[in-house]
């Protein structure tokens, strides 16, 4: 008996986690997928009824806004955070004496909750008392910066706050990448008289392709999951102008009592994450097996 | 290497002119300084606003220093600000977050360490599949588990309670903690385990006296990662709590977005800083490990 126990201890230790993952991750995904194919409203129902919920999503102007917002927000957030992160990393890579302190400053927002970030930016972007009022107070009476309350522009305030929060992290990733490039190659290039900026564009940056991919995955993942920042900064408003799929799902689940819509929008989010992460995970795991 | 002097003369002269170099250095430092201001500005505004009176906020401007420093907003935020119908400030919710974070961090770290140890060192058929399944669980958008989790917590009788939130954080933290420890233990040669087995040491004995003593750095990384994730969580907190058991992030959001009465921006800012202090402190004290967790969580292996 004790021999059996001894031999199977690794499996016994892993078993509870295995069960937890199968139930709380995969089982729950299955439950949500199933319910997204029913007519569930306030209470879940289990009779399948084709793709009715997805048809409702497709015709819902609110969900359309949410998807368009995700596209605008996601694209701008990913592109700007990557460019800014790379720029900061390259600037910091020039043998800067205060590098440690600057790195700490650029990265600290990442330690904050999105709710804190949203609260801070909501105050800064407050048209009556924040940045707008300040610049007007300096004598630029016609200065306007009321994006927070402008339905067409509010989504960009979320982009600003999200970039402030995450670009330092991208910088840290890229900086680690820059430092891992072979010193000898760089020295050889310098000896050959290749201009400094060419060393970056022709040698260092191309060799960091895997880091670009990781940064992209992390940022895309953050963008799709963005929920707290929107809640704290705009509450999804004005109206539902800054809704994202995550806030749409939450509203359907907990304030509208529309479980079918909540489940189907969650599945759409899941599919978007799938499309981005699965090829990445697949390639990662394959490389490790070789 | 012998003909360096021939190849370098023209271009080096163009690149290395001392005046150009100096100007470039100055521009570089100015740029870095401007970026530092961009990242510091919100924190500066939060701190100064929290130290001003409401009158001063209305008449002064965003980035001016407080004329008269007052801690009233901090007192209100901590003890009397209204989060919905309750008016006890963020204090009770701050302690809720502590009560949620500490056990959840400890349990998920311990289980992650054991899982990582098995996956990395006791490879058996299926261990890799388990790891892949677990890894994928790190990436799911949690919206996809919110509805069934709400029901299951109800069935288990821990809906809206602090143990319920601990449970949720442990379950969905396991993916990352397992990943951290697995990647750390995988670099330890398995001859070590084999030799110990030959000497008659069992599964737990090897873990306890060989692996655990080697694990301090990865424990620090994991604890910091989990603490930051759980302390800063909002989605689970707002979905699975009820009045009285909410974590501090939810309370902060309720204070800021409550529509009753006069909007007290200074109290909002003080509450936000209070909610941010624990993770900021961790970042300042152990920034190196914080960054390592961030990069390990994204660039695996």
- Report all structural domains of chain B as residue ranges with CATH numbers, in order of start: 4-70 (no CATH), 91-298 (1.10.3720.10)
Residue A212 belongs to a domain: yes
Number of C-beta neighbours around residue A41 at 10 A: 13
Residue A260 CA to residue A248 CA, distance in Å, equals 12
Is B172 an interface residue toward A (CB < 8 Å)? yes
Please name the residues between 36 and 75 in chain B that touch chain A, using a CB distance below 8 Å: 36, 38-43, 45-46, 49, 57-58, 61-63
Sort residue B126 into left (φ over 0), alpha (ψ -120 to 50) or beta: left
Interface contact A110-B300, CB threshold 8 A: no
Q: Does some domain include residue A219?
A: yes
- B235 and A131 within 8 Å at the Cβ level: the answer is no
Q: Give the three-state DSSP class for A202.
A: helix
Residue B43: alpha-carbon gap to chain centroid = 17
Greatest Cα pair distance in chain B: 81
Alpha-carbon torsion A180, A284, A108, A125, what sign?
positive
Q: Is B30 on the interface with A (CB under 8 A)?
A: no
Give the domain CATH number at A263.
1.10.3720.10
What is the ipTM metric for this complex? 0.88
- Radius of gyration of chain A measured on its C-alpha atoms: 24
Q: Is there a contact between B15 and A9 if contact means CB atoms under 8 Å apart?
A: no
Q: Is residue A42 part of a domain?
A: no
User: Is residue A109 domain-resident?
Assistant: yes
Q: Note whether residue A32 is domain-resident.
A: no
Question: Which of chain A's residues have a Cβ under 8 Å away from the Cβ of B301?
Answer: 284, 288
* CB-nearest partner of B174 from A17, A92, A273: A17
- Which of B 267-286 lie inside 8 A of A, CB atoms? 268-269, 271-273, 275-276, 279-280, 282-284
Asked if the structure places residue A96 within a domain, the reply is yes
Q: How far is CA A119 from CA A116, A122, A224, B81, B105, in A?
A: 5, 5, 20, 16, 26
Q: Which domain holds residue A109?
A: 61-289
- Interface contact B3, partner A, CB < 8 A: no
Query: Would residue A14 count as lying in a domain?
Result: no
Number of domains in chain A: 1
User: Is A19 inside any structural domain?
Assistant: no
- The pLDDT tens digits along chain B (301 residues) read 333 334 333 444 445 678 888 898 899 999 999 999 999 999 999 999 999 888 888 887 888 888 888 888 898 889 888 877 788 888 999 999 999 999 999 999 999 999 999 988 888 888 888 888 888 888 889 999 999 999 999 999 998 899 999 999 999 999 999 989 998 898 888 888 888 888 888 888 899 988 999 999 899 999 999 999 999 999 999 999 988 899 999 999 998 887 666 788 889 999 999 999 999 999 988 887 887 777 765 544 3
Query: pLDDT tens digits, residue range A209-261?
Result: 888 888 888 899 889 988 999 999 998 878 889 999 999 999 999 888 889 99
DSSP letter assigned to residue B86: B
């Amino acid at each position: 008996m004790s021999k059996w126990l001894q031999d199977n201890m690794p499996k016994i230790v892993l078993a509870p986690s295995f069960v937890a993952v199968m139930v709380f991750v995969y089982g729950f995904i299955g439950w949500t997928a199933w319910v997204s194919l029913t007519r569930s409203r306030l209470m879940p129902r289990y009779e399948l009824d084709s793709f009715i919920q997805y048809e409702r999503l497709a015709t819902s102007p609110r969900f359309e806004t949410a998807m368009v917002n995700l596209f605008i927000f996601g694209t701008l957030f990913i592109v700007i955070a990557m460019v800014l992160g790379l720029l900061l990393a390259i600037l910091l890579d020039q043998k800067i004496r205060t590098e440690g302190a600057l790195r700490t400053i650029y990265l600290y927002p990442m330690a904050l909750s999105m709710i804190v970030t949203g609260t801070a930016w909501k105050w800064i972007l407050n048209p009556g008392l924040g940045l707008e009022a300040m610049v007007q107070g300096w004598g630029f009476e016609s200065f306007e910066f009321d994006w927070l309350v402008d339905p067409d522009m509010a989504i960009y305030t979320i982009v600003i706050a999200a970039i402030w929060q995450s670009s330092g992290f991208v910088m840290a990733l890229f900086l680690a990448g820059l430092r891992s490039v072979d010193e000898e190659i760089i020295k050889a290039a310098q000896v050959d008289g290749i201009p400094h900026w060419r060393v970056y564009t022709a040698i260092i940056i191309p060799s960091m392709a895997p880091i670009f991919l990781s940064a992209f995955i992390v940022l895309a993942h953050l963008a799709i999951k963005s929920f707290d920042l929107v809640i704290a900064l705009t509450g999804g408003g004005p109206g539902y102008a800054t809704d994202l799929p995550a806030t749409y799902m939450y509203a359907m689940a907990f304030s509208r009592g529309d479980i079918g819509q909540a489940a189907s929008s969650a599945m759409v989010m899941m599919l978007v994450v799938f499309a981005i992460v699965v090829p990445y995970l697949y390639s990662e795991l394959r490389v490790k097996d070789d | 290497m012998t003909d360096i002097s021939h190849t370098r003369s023209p271009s080096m002269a163009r690149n290395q002119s001392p005046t150009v170099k100096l100007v470039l250095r100055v521009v570089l430092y100015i740029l870095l300084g401007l970026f530092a201001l961009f990242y510091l500005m919100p924190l500066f505004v939060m701190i100064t606003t929290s130290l001003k009176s409401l009158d001063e906020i209305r008449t002064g401007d965003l980035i001016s220093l407080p004329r008269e420093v007052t801690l009233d907003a901090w007192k209100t935020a901590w003890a009397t600000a209204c989060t919905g119908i309750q008016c006890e400030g963020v204090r009770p919710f701050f302690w809720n977050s502590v009560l949620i974070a500490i056990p959840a961090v400890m349990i998920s770290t311990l289980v992650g360490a054991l899982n990582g140890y098995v996956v990395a060192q006791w490879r058996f058929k299926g261990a890799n599949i388990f790891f892949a399944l677990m890894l994928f669980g790190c990436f799911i958008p949690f919206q996809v588990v919110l509805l069934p989790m709400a029901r299951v917590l109800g069935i288990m009788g821990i809906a809206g309670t602090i143990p319920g939130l601990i449970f949720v954080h442990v379950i969905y933290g396991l993916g990352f903690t397992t990943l951290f420890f697995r990647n750390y233990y995988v670099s330890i040669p398995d001859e070590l385990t084999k030799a110990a087995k030959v000497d008659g040491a069992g599964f737990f004995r090897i873990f306890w006296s060989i692996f655990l003593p080697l694990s301090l750095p990865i424990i620090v990384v994991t604890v910091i990662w989990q603490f930051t994730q759980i302390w800063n969580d909002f989605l689970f907190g707002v979905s699975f709590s009820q009045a009285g058991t909410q974590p501090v992030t939810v309370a902060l959001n309720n204070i800021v977005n409550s529509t009753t009465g006069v909007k007290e921006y200074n109290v909002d800012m003080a509450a936000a800083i209070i909610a941010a202090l624990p993770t900021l402190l961790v970042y300042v004290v152990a920034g190196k490990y914080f960054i390592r967790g961030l990069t390990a969580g994204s660039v695996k292996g």
